[in-house]
Amino acid sequence: MNPSRVLSILVENRPGVLNRVASMIRRRGFNIDSLSVGPTEDESVSRMTITVHVGRQQAEQATKQLAKLIDVISIDDITGLRNVAHELLLIRMNAPLGQRTELLQVVNVFLGRIVDIASSSMIIEVTGTTEKIDNFVELMRPFGIKEVARSGAVALVRGDQARLSLLDLNGDAEAADRPGLVRVGGGADHTGDI
């Protein structure tokens, strides 16, 4: 299994952009773990954060294909960079009076909030990394989960740099130090196809 890669994409805020991005990812056969879209500080620009499960080479190809889309302004593979990648969880828990105290102890450890409460259930909100959310959901399981909604990750790079530079079109995909020819993919056999 390949690790998750986080792509941070700035796109023109226009109708159909999400369709173009999703369509490109589908057409090239990349699997999306999560995708989130939202406005940015500039109302003409939206940010998409896409988490994909692909290898480095495939991520590079995905990045370049997405960069080619006319509505994509910039795209950065921020995997491995110092970044904050958080998602939002809303979870409706079975919460009869008898087990609320115990439940709230776990919620407090995860710095969660109760955002809705009813006679036998409550909705809890937790934000954080995907791993943290996964852990929280596991801990909730014994109490009885009724419903889960997760936002998918949104991410920014840490530090003073507000925006990363554009994709370095001239520096990618080279095997300068590798001897011989590096071939991509498993050498799929297409010969003889019409």
User: What residue ranges bind other proteins (CB under 8 A)?
Assistant: 11-12, 15-16, 19-20, 23-24, 27, 57, 60-61, 64-65, 67-68, 70-73, 166-167, 169-170, 172-176, 178-185, 187-192, 194
Q: How far is the CB of 19 from other proteins (least distance, A)?
A: 7
Q: Which is nearer to other proteins, 24 or 106 (CB)?
A: 24
Q: How far is the CB of 43 from other proteins (least distance, A)?
A: 15
Q: How far is the CB of 47 from other proteins (least distance, A)?
A: 14
Q: Which is nearer to other proteins, 71 or 125 (CB)?
A: 71
Q: Which is nearer to other proteins, 73 or 103 (CB)?
A: 73
Q: For residue 185, is it left (φ>0), alpha (ψ between -120 and 50) or beta?
A: left
Q: Which is nearer to other proteins, 68 or 158 (CB)?
A: 68
Q: Which is nearer to other proteins, 3 or 16 (CB)?
A: 16
Cα separation values, 43 from 38, 46, 141, 166, 192, Å: 10, 7, 40, 20, 51
Among residues 167, 4, 22, the alpha carbon closest in space to that of 83 is found at 4
Round to whole Å and give the CA distance between 76 and 152.
17
Q: How far is the CB of 81 from other proteins (least distance, A)?
A: 20
At residue 94's C-alpha, the angle toward residues 111 and 128, to 5°, is: 25
Round to whole Å and give the CA distance between 180 and 27.
30
At residue 99's C-alpha, the angle toward residues 95 and 100, to 5°, is: 65
Q: How far is the CB of 129 from other proteins (least distance, A)?
A: 30
Q: Which is nearer to other proteins, 159 or 192 (CB)?
A: 192
- Sign, CA dihedral 18-63-35-52, equals positive
* Beta partners for residue 87, in sequence order: 128
Q: How far is the CB of 191 from other proteins (least distance, A)?
A: 5
